Amino acid sequence: MSFNSCIENQIENQIKNQIENQIENQIDNIIEMSNQELQNTVVGTMNEESIEVFNTALHQYLRIDEEIKTLMQAIRARNEIKKNLGETLSNYLKTNQIKNVNLDGSYKGKRLEAVVNYTTTGFNKATVTEAIHNELKEDQEIFEKIMEALSRTSVMKEVWKLKITEEKKTRKGTGVRRGRKQQDDALDTASNLLNDV
C-alpha cells in the first residue's frame, strides 16, 4: 500500500469517525433527555406519560440507527464514485502527460497533482531465492544463471493517483530521478540477491 493510499484511508476513516461521533452524540442527547423525562415521572408507576416518553425515545433511537446505516451506505457509494472518477482523471492526465491542474472555486490556491509511484510486481524475492538456493547449494553457477533470469522477469508497474495539494513551487526533476532510481534498484535485483546468499 502506498503512502498516498494510507493517507486517503486515514482521511476516509476520520470522516467516518466524525459522522459516527456526531450521530452517537445525537443519540446520547436523546437518551439523556428521555432519561430525564422518565426520572421526572413518579418512580414505580407505569402511567401513560412515562410509556409515551419511552416509546418516543425508542422510535427516535431506531430512526437514528436507520439514518446511520443510510449515511454509511452513502459514504461507501461516494467513495466508490470518487475512486472511479479518480481513475478516469488519472487516465486522462497520464494519457496527456499532465502532472497537475490548478483548481478554482472553493479549492482556489490548490491543485490536483498526478502522483506517480512505481511498484514491482512478480515473484516474492525472498522465498524464491531461498527455495532455489536450498535446492542448488552445490551448483553455484546454475543458481546465478537462474537468479539473473528471474531478475529479468520483474515488471515495473506505474501507478497514478490523485491528491489535492496547496499551490507551491516544486523542484523540477525530483520525481523523474526518484522513478529512475527505483527502476535501477529493481534491475539490480539479481546482484543484490546473489550478494545476500
Beta strands in the chain (DSSP E): 100-102, 110-121, 155-166
Residue 28 pLDDT grade (very low, low, confident, very high; cuts 50, 70, 90): confident
Percent of the chain with pLDDT over 70: 70
Q: Are residues 122 and 149 both part of a single domain?
A: yes
**Domain of residue 143, residue span:** 100-196
Is residue 169 pLDDT above 70, yes or no? no
User: Domain ends where: 95, 122, 138?
Assistant: 95
Within this chain, do residues 68 and 153 fall inside the same structural domain, yes or no? Answer: no
Mean pLDDT of all residues in 20-28: 77
* pLDDT at residue 157 tops 80: no
Terminal alpha carbon distance of the chain: 28
**Residues 36-75 pLDDT 10s:** 766 665 455 567 888 888 888 888 888 888 899 899 999 9
* pLDDT of 175 above 60: no
Question: Residue 84 corresponds to which cell in the numbers above?
Answer: 472511479
Cβ atoms of residues 105 and 164 within 8 Å: no
Asked which of 50, 66, 95 is the last residue of a domain, the reply is 95
* Predicted local confidence at residue 187, as pLDDT: 47
How much is the pLDDT for 119?
75
Q: Residues 32, 113: one domain?
A: no
Single-letter amino acid, residue 76 = R
Provide CB contacts within 8 A for 164, sequence distance 6+. 103, 107, 110, 111, 112, 113
- Tell whether 90 and 113 lie within a shared domain: no
Q: Looking at the structure, tell me whether residues 75 and 123 fall in a common domain.
A: no
Q: In the predicted model, is pLDDT for residue 104 greater than 50?
A: yes
How many degrees, rounded to 5, is the angle at CA 180 between CA 174 and CA 186?
140
pLDDT of residue 190: 46
Q: Tell me what pLDDT residue 113 has.
A: 87
Strand partners, 163: 113
Domain finish residue from 77, 95, 113:
95
Tell me: do 117 and 188 sit in the same domain. Answer: yes
**Are residues 121 and 161 located together in one domain of the fold?**
yes
Query: 68-102, pLDDT tens digit by residue?
Result: 989 999 999 999 999 999 889 988 988 998 888 99
DSSP per residue, 133-148: HHHTSS-HHHHHHHHH
